[in-house]
Structure 1
Amino acid sequence: MMVDGIAPALAEALEKRGYSELTPVQKAVLDPALGQSDALVSAQTGSGKTVAFGLALAPTLLGETERFGAAGAPLGLVVAPTRELALQVARELVWLYEFAGASIATCVGGMDMRTERRALERGAHIVVGTPGRLRDHITRGALDISGLAAVVLDEADEMLDLGFREDLEFILGSSPVERRTLMFSATVPRAIATLAKEYQRDAVRIAAAGEQKQHHDIEYRALVVSPSDRDNAIVNVLRYYEARNAIVFCNTRAAVNHLTARLNNRNFSVVAMSGELSQNERTHALQAMRDGRARVCIATDVAARGIDLPGLELVIHADLPSNPDTLLHRSGRTGRAGRKGISALIVPHPARRRCERVLQAARIEAEWARPPSADEVVARDNERMLVDPALSEPVSEGERDFVATLLDRFGPEQMAAAYLRLSRSGRSAPEYLSESGPLPAAGKARGQAGTPSKSRDDFGDSVWFSLSVGRKQNAEPRWLIPMLCRTANLTKREIGAIRMQPEETFVQISADSADAFVEALGPHMTIQGNIRVEAVEGEPDFARSAYRPQRPEKKPHRGKGGYDKGNDERPAKKKFTEAGTKPWGDKPGADKPWGSKKPAKPKFEKGAAAKPAKKPKRPKSD
């Protein structure tokens, strides 16, 4: 394979590897206009960037020679964010520089530092490592980078996200100023631009051609499920596609452990990849995936960074990615080198809008659908069985006699049934899924071209409900809506207008969902135990401070006039009389002039009945 700009030794290695055409990013770094300049390259996962910077480094490291001389202090340094990615880069550079006689050494966390130190003492032309371990070797004097000619930062955005900025600045600050610096990053946020401006000299910005069409070999499917059916949906997706290799992404280590246990119980061959595993355990897990002993890898985003599994056909997002970059990095594990792949997002229906926003930001159009049902999984199994080569291969001479014996003893129908049971015995039974919320119109994400957004004014038939919280209780739609969705399995599209009042809130619910909403609230009609919900007849009068009919007054205090409980009208307020008197209720003297004194208590007069005599004092004793 002879291409202008490729060193002959590397061209020979590419031809041996079966390369017939370079990818866009590989062609971009070979542009003669680039020369020996620094470069900031944006390239997505799976675009062939490892080979790209390997080709770009060759002229700088080899110079005018075709092969490397004796190994000593390293000439090239490649920094990667994770152990797996660093080891994968090293493997790629080994075969790429095979005919150039390069010695490649690795320095990654979790490996034996003494072994790495001995390899560095023997000498290496190129060193590949993670930021923390490289810094350790530099500070201990085991790694001499004073003679570096070039430095490559692979997945630079990920290294900054993982908190390696200080280590990177130390490594770049310790290397020669006149070095060549190549940065490869899936995205170029402000932090990357700042790092490039500080440590690169007039860097050439390269956006590989064809990157605008993200992962065109990947079929994206957004599968809407009930929140309680997430694990069951993952089981059915794995069973439906029966991929040779599949990876399931979770957001946390706890979720990885939970899902690993669930799938192990369902007879799937599973390995886990998370940060709590040792390097030896992670290496064995990847090897199990490569040699076929395991078919499903459950991993966190950080642990799976840089994983390259040959023949990976299926990516499942058990937890939704938090941003479009994470979605692209996860999905980039499949659909490589012209092979087709499937990226399936498990979308609990309360999180459907969030998924739509991530897809729209990533400029990806996904097909919205339900997860495969149990019947669809069984039908797919039957289709695979009918095309099984074991049923089409002719009967051999060694098998013929015993086949005849089996047919005579059991008959064709019994033998077919036995084969069916045997083929299904090693597989997990599919799960039955409950109904979930509605799908977006036309299978597209809300807000994309061709999908008109639904106006609240055209909400349609609805029922109004009153909630016993309002502005005085700091009620806000941003926490009321998720609470309603969780409590009654509603989607946001089934919730219409929300009208906040001082002490209550009116919520519009689709008429088709109103009965289910009431049933989900239970007999007490409460949410979260203390928020009362009442159905409203017709449309509330929002002009009033509170639409709820006034309740009967509490029992009056003692001494105050009451009112007839059977009368709906409250007693009129007390008023002054025309004569200037104040009513005193039913007590005597009710017409007493206002401001006059109360009648004095009667005094005892002479001649009147005497007061009762006081009890005589007891005489003092002598």
Structure 2
Amino acid sequence: MKQTLADALAQQGYATLTQVQQAVTDPELAGSDLLVSAQTGSGKTVGFGLAIAPTILGDGDHFASAAAPLALIIAPTRELALQVKRELAWLYGRAGAHLASCVGGMDIRDERRALERGAHIVVATPGRLRDHVMRGSIDLSDIKAIVLDEADEMLDLGFQEDLEFILAAAPEDRRTLMFSATVPRGIANLAGKYQTDAIRITTAAETSQHSDIEYRALSVAPRDVDNAIVNVLRFYEAPNALVFANTRAMVNRLTTRLSNRGFSVVALSGELSQSERTHALQAMRDGRARVCVATDVAARGIDLPSLDLVVHAELPTSHETLLHRSGRTGRAGRKGVSALIVPPAARKKCERLLKFAKLTAEWAEAPSADAVRARDMDRMLADPVWHAPIELTDAAQALVARFSAEQIAAAYVALYESRHSAPEELLAPGPAGKPEPRAPFGPSVWFSVAGGKKAGIETRRLLPILCKAGNISKDDIGAIRIHYDESYVEILESSADRFLAALGPDMTVEGDARVTRLDRTPDLGGSSKPGAKPFARSPEHRRGPGRKETGPDRIAPRPAPQPEPPGPERRKPSAPPSPRPRKPEPGSAAGKRAPMPDIATADGLVSPAKRRGKPAAHNQAGKRKPKAPGQAPSKAPPVGKPNSKKNKARAAAAKARGGDKPPKRRAPKT
């Protein structure tokens, strides 16, 4: 090992190397391609940093002036890439290394300038690195080593084409190291195509479950999933906890729920920008937030030093995802807990995931409220302040002089409990695979809350607000109806007094929304928008004209036909007309049409065929046909049906006028 690297490890407090670090730094493997399978949190970042040191440093302990990059580290996510850059910065700091990062979400112009100044090691994500290669911003001609960190995750995220493009553009005499928690078929194919005689390294953690992680499968009732998460967080009181959900909507709902219960919580999902994600993780690192709710993709690459608890609010889709989720805890020799929230319907799925992942979990029920309170008492009594030398300050002497020992102890316990969220009362989990039937709600009282759809109020937002402000749980709340300007909430009669006492004399909840107790059940039918017609139609409108109803919403059946009264004998209807004769087939003897007679005109006989093809004289091309010089006006009747009474009358009127001249208009009488 290079002396500069040994000094850096000693400064960071490394006394011994982990299994994967010892395996990849074996002198016999120097210069060989490696395919390493190691669990998340096994120290593989420092491991591949030590493994590529002989290749990029050579015989010396310090780097020469920075020019084209010597090593590429490719990671699946931005957070993991920046984390790898921080680890390699202190590892190669004494060797004078210059590092650059190329990740999505950052300004590509700043990255281009950093590459132009020169860098020995470049840490990048696949998409952004390929963009730099295609733009010509990075020179890969001097690359001596390429490391693919979390290679299986990169294939799951669809980066196979980008990886193949980058590996094909790099020199063929390079070293290629692949690190992956699992080695599926895609990783094996990629290794066989772009590695040369790769050596397979499998650590002991690959063949057995992570020894530093305690897996617990907690059975809960279907309606107590959120309450069980609250109790698990309160039971362990970890400095940092990570709650996993499968969708963004579930992340937002859990974040709101935990925030209303008094937890300092941040959210991580794909819809957040890079700056928002960075601020959320920084809040977890400096202690401003203790709980992070995230999706699988958003949480990849997260490395929190005090992450002692992982809660699976929703079961993952595969056992590889289960391993990646749980691998966020139990890192660097610390102990961690991975708790799976398992409702009855998901029991079989949880058992399959644990079997495929080769994990052994302890099955139990979620911590009850009594168990949380007992754990709080144990933590309080285990505080070292009880064994410290007694020093009575002025404030302590004032308390002793004013109050009894019992009063001081009761006040201390009350103040201690007030700093923590109250635990939830959980129902007994039902049998596996059968949903628990909902119990009758019971007597209730209705309340109105100012604001409705016009103000953007939704049920999923209003429910946690009422629970927090009224010191009640969702089981105490029945129906919630959001109208246009007002909302109505049904609360158990046994919890109404507690709800009113928690609201106080102001009777307001979050956002200064006023709450009013109603004396009767409100009118919940129809739309409450001003000027809108009720949704339910009136009985007269429903039944239509001429119908009678037998009840409030029923239409009477149609009466049966009655026999006709006796009377004079009616005339029998005439026989139906004979059917119309069918049209004869074309070409048959009966199908030949009789010839039409010729039509007599002033110019002689004209056949119908010629008459149909020749337009009228005054209608040809839209103009009147010019007459020849000296030609007498035509006295022929207009073309039409020869025996028409109308045409005969027109011909007689034209003859009386002396041709086809139009009649003269008579002067109006004065």
Q: TM-score w.r.t. structure 2 length?
A: 0.64
The answer to whether structure 1 residue 60 and structure 2 residue 62 are counterparts is no
Aligned to 1:384: 379
Q: What are the Cα deviations for residues 80-120 of structure 1, in whole angstroms up to 9, with x where unaligned?
A: 00011001111111111112111111111111222212211
Aligned to 1:188: 183
Gap change, CA 1:238 and 1:487, over 3 Å in 2: closer
- Judge which range, 200-209 or 343-352, deviates more: 200-209
Aligned to 1:299: 294
Aligned partners of 2:221 and 2:436 also within 8 Å: no
Gaps of 5+ in 2: 439-568, 573-670
Match of 1:430 among 417, 423, 429: 423
Alpha-carbon distance in structure 1 between the residues aligned to 2:187 and 2:380: 52
Aligned partners of 1:250 and 1:318 also within 8 Å: yes
Match of 1:418 among 411, 423, 426: 411
The answer to whether structure 1 residue 172 and structure 2 residue 164 are counterparts is no
Alpha-carbon distance in structure 2 between the residues aligned to 1:406 and 1:76: 66
Alpha-carbon distance in structure 1 between the residues aligned to 2:397 and 2:178: 68
The answer to whether structure 1 residue 74 and structure 2 residue 74 are counterparts is no
- Counterpart AA for 1:406: L
Aligned to 1:86: 81
Aligned to 1:263: 258
Alpha-carbon distance in structure 1 between the residues aligned to 2:47 and 2:40: 12
Aligned partners of 2:30 and 2:51 also within 8 Å: no
Match of 2:192 among 174, 190, 197: 197
Aligned partners of 1:40 and 1:203 also within 8 Å: yes
Alpha-carbon distance in structure 1 between the residues aligned to 2:202 and 2:407: 63
Aligned to 1:349: 344
Aligned to 2:115: 120
Gaps of 5+ in 1: 1-5, 440-481, 490-611, 616-622
Alpha-carbon distance in structure 2 between the residues aligned to 1:248 and 1:402: 41
The answer to whether structure 1 residue 147 and structure 2 residue 147 are counterparts is no
Aligned-pair CA distance for 1:387: 2.5
Q: What are the Cα deviations for residues 233-274 of structure 1, in whole angstroms up to 9, with x where unaligned?
A: 000000011111111111111111110110000000111111
The answer to whether structure 1 residue 374 and structure 2 residue 369 are counterparts is yes
Within-5 A mapping of 1:122-521: 122-396=117-391, 399=393, 401-437=394-430, 485-486=434-435, 488=437
- Judge which range, 73-82 or 313-322, deviates more: 313-322
Alpha-carbon distance in structure 2 between the residues aligned to 1:342 and 1:371: 14
Alpha-carbon distance in structure 1 between the residues aligned to 2:200 and 2:102: 29
Alpha-carbon distance in structure 1 between the residues aligned to 2:204 and 2:420: 44
Gap change, CA 1:34 and 1:404, over 3 Å in 2: closer
Q: What are the Cα deviations for residues 44-98 of structure 1, in whole angstroms up to 9, with x where unaligned?
A: 1011111111111111101122210000110100000001100111111111111
- Judge which range, 379-388 or 303-312, deviates more: 379-388
The answer to whether structure 1 residue 20 and structure 2 residue 20 are counterparts is no
Aligned-pair CA distance for 1:488: 5.0
Name the SS for the 1:184 alignment partner.
strand
Alpha-carbon distance in structure 1 between the residues aligned to 2:398 and 2:295: 53
Alpha-carbon distance in structure 1 between the residues aligned to 2:263 and 2:205: 37
- Counterpart AA for 1:408: A
Alpha-carbon distance in structure 1 between the residues aligned to 2:374 and 2:102: 50
Aligned-pair CA distance for 1:337: 1.9
- Counterpart AA for 2:225: R
Within-5 A mapping of 1:14-53: 14-53=9-48
Alpha-carbon distance in structure 1 between the residues aligned to 2:67 and 2:98: 10
- Counterpart AA for 1:410: F
Alpha-carbon distance in structure 2 between the residues aligned to 1:362 and 1:25: 20
Aligned partners of 1:267 and 1:426 also within 8 Å: no
Aligned-pair CA distance for 1:487: 7.1
Alpha-carbon distance in structure 2 between the residues aligned to 1:486 and 1:438: 8
- Counterpart AA for 1:238: L
Aligned-pair CA distance for 1:408: 3.2
Aligned-pair CA distance for 1:370: 0.5
Name the SS for the 2:299 alignment partner.
coil
Aligned to 2:662: none
- Counterpart AA for 1:96: L
> Once the two structures are aligned, what percentage of the paired residues are identical?
67
- Counterpart AA for 1:169: E
Aligned-pair CA distance for 1:438: 5.2
Aligned-pair CA distance for 1:225: 0.6
Aligned-pair CA distance for 1:210: 4.2
Aligned-pair CA distance for 1:11: 1.5
Aligned partners of 1:39 and 1:204 also within 8 Å: yes
CA RMSD of aligned residues (A): 2.0
Aligned-pair CA distance for 1:35: 2.6
Aligned partners of 1:43 and 1:186 also within 8 Å: yes
Alpha-carbon distance in structure 1 between the residues aligned to 2:275 and 2:70: 29
- Counterpart AA for 1:155: E
Alpha-carbon distance in structure 2 between the residues aligned to 1:210 and 1:418: 49
Q: TM-score w.r.t. structure 1 length?
A: 0.69
The number of equivalent residue pairs is 442
Name the SS for the 2:52 alignment partner.
helix
Name the SS for the 1:33 alignment partner.
helix
Aligned-pair CA distance for 1:154: 0.6
- Counterpart AA for 1:407: V
Aligned-pair CA distance for 1:367: 0.7
